[in-house]
Amino acid sequence: MFLNKDCSFISVMALHHIVMCIFVLCVSQSALPPEQLAWCGMDTVLLYWDDILLMMGPRGDPVRYFYDEPIILIPECDGVRILSNSSMEFLQRVPDSTESIFKIGSTSPAALLYDALDHFDRQSAKADENLRLIRPSLPEAVEACIDAAGHEFDVLRQRTLLRAASYGQAFCSNFQRDHIQEMCKTLRVLNAVRHPDVGMPLSIQQYKLLTPSVLIGRLINSYKHFLALRVSEYLGMNQEMVIMHWACSKISASLAISDATLLEILLDKLKLCKGISYAAVAAHADKNGRRKLAAMLVEHEPRSSKQVPLLLSIGEEDTALMKAIESGDTDLVYLVLFHIWRKRQPLEFFGMIQARALARDLFIIYARCYKHEFLKDFFLSTGQLQEVAFLLWKESWELGKNPMASRGSPLHGPRIKIIEKAQNLFLETKEYTFEAKAAEEHAKLLRMQHDLEVSTKQAIFVDSSISDTIRTCIVLGNHRAAMKVKTEFKVSEKRWYWLKVFALATIRDWDALEKFSKEKRPPIGYRPFVEACIEADEKGEALKYIPKLTDPRERAESYARIGMAKEAADAASQAKDGELLGRLKLTFSQNAAASSIFDTLRDRLSFQGVS
């Protein structure tokens, strides 16, 4: 559009399929510019002066309207709303389809089809004549009648135009027959909202641009819930938004109705829509100060993920915890636990979770990782002293991992005290006497190891076992300390001998080992002495103890391990064990002389099974 400086002419340019047409029209002889200028649709312009409204289009002379009062022009997508102090009007250019039908003297196919319907109603043969004339253009005529019906506001004319389209459709073989049904559905909706009681005079173009969902939103914002419900049901749309808005509005407007009565009213409507969020309605009730009603509504919410948070927000922690546990969703259970944890006193919190196994177990799992002190309070409140003791024992080990806990560090003092405290708690429960004794010995051992590290100035004792402590003392030559550990912890003679034998072999103190073997008859026999020497690759030392082995099988195997075939064969013959001779022969298979010895023994003794 172009308006020249002195407002003597205006250009309206309509772009259709990349073809531009320019119309230059005389506007007015007035020298004053218009007070208002607005588009009316896509190709028409309105100009307003003090008392005259001029409508300019691309097809010819302007149309003038006179007003006795000031007006305001409000552009719409397909026209202009004219608002004055006393009325509101809608002005639009006559649609092409309507013009082609109702224009005086029109001979368009759509006009002839409309005229054919009139003749058909009067049972005139002229109807058939008209149909024959427009047979090639009948689909276009039917489409024009449908389009014109959509632009009409008058219900009777809508009906007539749709009847004309239906009449023409009966003679069309290639026309999509759902167009009329779709237009009927659209017009039913538009006629309903155009009713004076509703007051939404939408055109079909506005309705299409708004979309039905926006129209439903406007209806419920105008509190036309029943109409919105019927429209959404008619169009096959989800009715949840309408029922939700109605329920919230009902709660806000029903302050005088009791909670129980209002609940029945709400449930009667809410059950119409499957899957509706009762939690959202309950939240609205809570915001309006009706917490009891909110609690009753949320009971009907099937989704725990929405139900539980709302129960927490309205202060129903007990119910929220129960619902979260019933759902089996650990995230929801933790949500409730943390909420109650922050809001309630510890003893009250402990009492809530003690009787609920899932909540209790989840709390314990979390607290073991992050809240040891709080978990100890929980176990103390429930009388589970042994669990507190186990936590203390674990703390002592964690304290031992501190890099400063070595070489006489003062951290050993607190560690020992913590273990002794755990021991006392174990003693208070009859079922945990073993754990109490173990804690006592652990504290005693830790104290001795601490003293050894101080005396030796080597951080190699703490947190090692009793056996390792004895072995380390012997390796360092501190036999008195090793004997003290043996006495304090009542180490058995067999265990003592094993530890000392291998410790002396480790430092290769063969004289001390021989002397130790002669102190008295070893309770473990002489085989450990042989094993220790062989592992240290001291065959000569091993020969000191092999003859002392009482079992000929052990002697034979020991001789074989140090490569003495003849002695091994003699010991095996004493054992009279054919299987042993067979194994020994395989051991010396690379030695022909040794193999012949075993063959000789086999022949002499005639043992079966020896190859």
Confidence bin at 608 (pLDDT 50/70/90): very low
Q: What is the pLDDT of residues 301-345, one digit of tens each?
A: 888 888 888 888 888 888 888 888 888 888 889 898 888 888 888
Q: Assign 465 to helix, strand or coil.
A: coil
For domain 385-570, the question of CATH label 1.10.150.780 is answered with: yes
Domain-by-domain residue ranges, the chain? Answer: 2-93, 94-210, 385-570
Q: In the prediction, which pLDDT does 307 show? A: 83
> What region, left, alpha or beta, does residue 407 occupy, with left being phi > 0 and alpha being psi -120 to 50 degrees?
left
Q: What is the Cα–Cα distance from 172 to 176, expressed in whole angstroms? A: 9
Confidence bin at 20 (pLDDT 50/70/90): very low
Burial class (CB in 10 A: 0-12, 13-18, 19+), 122: exposed
Q: What is the pLDDT of residues 389-400, one digit of tens each?
A: 777 777 777 666
Provide the percentage of residues in the chain whose pLDDT is more than 70. 86
For 336-399, the three-class secondary structure string (H helix, E strand, C coil) is HHHHHHHHCCHHHHHHHHHCCHHHHHHHHHHHHHHCHHHHHHHHHHCCCHHHHHHHHHHHHHHH
Mean pLDDT of 568-596: 65
Least confident of 20-24, 436-440, 444-448, 523-527: 20-24
Mean pLDDT of 118-144: 90
